[in-house]
Structure 1
Amino acid sequence: MAIAEWFTKGSNVVSLGALITSIAALTRTWSTSRTAKKNLRIVMRQEERRAIEPQVQLLQSKRKVDSDSERYSYLIHVGNPADSGNYVARAEMVIDYRSRDGVPATVKIPAERVRNEDVEYLGNEPNLEIPVNVSAREAVEGWVHFKFTKSLMSEQHVDRFLVLMEMGNGATVSVESIIPTEI
Structure 2
Amino acid sequence: MIGHYSAIHKPFRLRFSMRALLFLTVIVSLLVFVVLQIIPRERVFTKRVAVLGPITSGQKAVALDPPSDNEVLNALRKVLPPGRIFPSKRGMRIVKQKIADYDDPVRVYPMIGPAQQHHAHYKCTLYPRSAYGTDERPYVIYLDHNHLHMVGDQEGLQASSEATTKSDGDRP
Give the TM-score taking structure 1 as reference length: 0.26
Query: Where is the helix percentage greater, Structure 1 or Structure 2?
Result: 1
Query: Where is the strand percentage greater, Structure 1 or Structure 2?
Result: 1
Give the TM-score taking structure 2 as reference length: 0.27
